[in-house]
Amino acid sequence: MNKNYFSAIVACVAIAIVSSCSGDKDGSVGVIDIEKGLDNVVSVNLSDYASSLSYYSLESDSVLLPAINRSTVVDGNVILTNLRSTTLYVYSNDGKYIKNLGEKGRARNEYSVAGQLIPEPDSKCLTVWSGDKIVTYSIETGEFVRALVVDEIKGFDCGFFGSTVYLGDGNYAIESLDKEANAENETLVYVDSCGNVTGSVQLPPPYNSLVQLTKTQVVPNPIKCTIYEYKGAVNVIPGKCDTIFTISDDMLRPKYVFDYGSLESIGTAKVISDKTFSVGRKYFECDNFILFDANLPASYTIYPDSRRVYMIYDKNTKRTSTAEYSDKYKMAGFTNDIDRGMPFMPDMVVDGKMYQFVDAISFIEAAALTDAPEIKRIAQTLTETSNPVMIVATLK
C-alpha cells in the first residue's frame, strides 16, 4: 500500500469507524507496519504473552500420527487429523487417546476432506468443512448430528462453501458466492442448522492478480477472502490483505490496516517481483497480539533457506516485529524464556491457549540442547516413531 493511499484510508477510517468495533485497545484502527516489522527482527519473549508451558506426548499405542495438519479443541478435548487419516482422533487435554470421530467418505454422514475443523462449544460438537458440505459430529457420543450441503441451502444459491465460523445455537457464518446472480464478489451468508439463510453481508471483492509463471506466461491468480472469529465477532481478511474488517450490525468496519511502505502487496502487484510481499494463512488474533506468517520478497533474507517469516503485532505497544530465527534450534518463533526450550510457534490458538505440535525426532533433538527437566523427561519417553509432542502455552 503506498503512503498517500494509506494515509487517506486512515483518515477516512478515523471519521467513519465506531470505536467499539476497531482493533486497538484505545479504540483506534490498528496499523500493522509491515516494512518496519521486517526491519525489526528481534527476540520476542514468550513470557510477554504466556504465563506457563506444559508438555504432553500424544499416546501412540492406538493411533500413529506422523504429522498433524488440522487441529482444534472442543470441551477440553483435542481433535487432530492429518492428510492421510481416514478419521479424526480425539485426545484428552493431557495427550491420552480417547476415540475416533467421523469417517472420510462420500456418504452424507462422512466428509471428503477435513479442510477446516470448527468447534461448537455450546453443543459440544465438531463441524468439519468438506468443500461442498459441512458435517457435524457429537464429541460426547461420537454420533453424526447433521450435514449442510451446498445444493440444499435455502434462500441463497451457494456456489461453494468457503471459510466457516460457528456463531452459536446451531448458526454459522459461511463465505460463499451467489451462483444465481452470477456475482463476482463473495458474500458472507448466515445459515441456521436447517440450512436456512437468515442474512448476508457482501464481502470485499477478490483481487485477480497476475502471476508470472515464466518469462512469457502470465496467468490470473484469484485471491479471495478468509473469515475468522474473535470474541464473538466475525472478522474478514480480504484477498488484497490491506485491511482487516470486523462485521458489526451487518456492516464491514475497518479494524486493522496493513502499511506496506515501499513494498508491494500481492493484491497490488502486477507480477511477482523482487518487492512483492504477501501475508500467509497462519493468522491468530489474541487479546494482546496478532501473529501471522508472511512470504517475503526475493530481495529479503531473514531466515536461512526460507522466504517465509513469522510476524507479531503487539496491541499494547502498537509495534510490528519479526520473530528471530534460532541458529541453535534451527527454527523461528517466540523465544522460550519460560523454560529455555525450543522456540514456540503455535499451530492453533483456542480458548486462551496456544498449541504447538512437534514431531518426536525434532523434540528429541531439541531436548538434547536444553537443561529443562520437563523437556528432558518427555524426550526420554519417546522413540523416533512416537506421536508428536503437544506443547501448550497458557495465554495471559
Q: Is the pLDDT of residue 220 over 90?
A: no
CATH number for the domain including 103? 2.120.10
pLDDT, mean of residues 322-332: 97
Reported confidence tier of residue 5, pLDDT bands at 50, 70, 90: very low
pLDDT, mean of residues 356-376: 97
Reported confidence tier of residue 180, pLDDT bands at 50, 70, 90: low
pLDDT, position 391: 98
pLDDT, position 276: 66
Reported confidence tier of residue 280, pLDDT bands at 50, 70, 90: confident
Reported confidence tier of residue 206, pLDDT bands at 50, 70, 90: low
Query: Which region among 39-53, 100-114, 117-131, 239-253 has the lowest average model confidence (pLDDT)?
Result: 239-253
pLDDT, mean of residues 41-53: 98
Query: Looking at the domain assignment, is residue 8 inside a domain?
Result: no
pLDDT, position 271: 41
Reported confidence tier of residue 160, pLDDT bands at 50, 70, 90: confident
pLDDT, position 266: 54
Reported confidence tier of residue 3, pLDDT bands at 50, 70, 90: very low
Query: Which region among 231-235, 289-293, 304-308, 314-318 has the lowest average model confidence (pLDDT)?
Result: 304-308
Which pTM value belongs to this model? 0.89
Query: Looking at the domain assignment, is residue 17 inside a domain?
Result: no
Give the Å distances, CA to CA, from 300 to 263, 295, 303, 305.
11, 10, 9, 11
pLDDT, position 182: 54
Give the Å distances, CA to CA, from 80 to 83, 97, 164, 282, 390.
11, 11, 18, 17, 11
Instruction: For residue 119, give the amino acid letter.
Output: P
What is the tens place of the pLDDT at every residue in 91-138?
Answer: 999 999 999 999 999 999 999 999 999 999 999 999 999 989 999 999
Query: Looking at the domain assignment, is residue 110 inside a domain?
Result: yes
Report the mean per-residue pLDDT for the chain: 86
Residue 376: which domain range? 26-395
Query: Looking at the domain assignment, is residue 174 inside a domain?
Result: yes
Q: Is the pLDDT of residue 56 over 80?
A: yes
pLDDT, mean of residues 179-192: 78
Query: Looking at the domain assignment, is residue 40 inside a domain?
Result: yes
pLDDT, position 238: 83
Q: How many domains does the chain have?
A: 1
pLDDT, position 275: 57
Give the Å distances, CA to CA, from 249 to 127, 190, 252, 254.
26, 13, 9, 13
Q: Is the pLDDT of residue 295 over 90?
A: no
Instruction: For residue 113, give the amino acid letter.
Output: V
Query: Which region among 127-131, 298-302, 336-340, 342-346 has the lowest average model confidence (pLDDT)?
Result: 298-302
92 CB contacts (<8 Å, ≥6 apart)?
76, 77, 78, 98
- CA trace torsion 146, 191, 128, 180 (10° rounding): 110
Count of C-beta atoms within a 10 Å radius of residue 154:
10
Cα–Cα distance, 195 to 358 (Å, whole number): 39
**What grid cell was written down for 153?**
441451502
Query: Which region among 15-29, 140-154, 221-235 has the lowest average model confidence (pLDDT)?
Result: 15-29
Query: Which region among 4-13, 122-131, 140-149 has the lowest average model confidence (pLDDT)?
Result: 4-13
Reported confidence tier of residue 23, pLDDT bands at 50, 70, 90: confident
pLDDT, position 380: 97
pLDDT, position 268: 42
Query: Looking at the domain assignment, is residue 20 inside a domain?
Result: no
Query: Looking at the domain assignment, is residue 85 inside a domain?
Result: yes
Q: State what percent of residues in the chain have pLDDT above 90.
A: 67
pLDDT, mean of residues 65-74: 93
Query: Which region among 2-6, 70-74, 331-335 has the lowest average model confidence (pLDDT)?
Result: 2-6
Cα–Cα distance, 175 to 187 (Å, whole number): 6
**What grid cell was written down for 250?**
451487518
Query: Looking at the domain assignment, is residue 336 inside a domain?
Result: yes
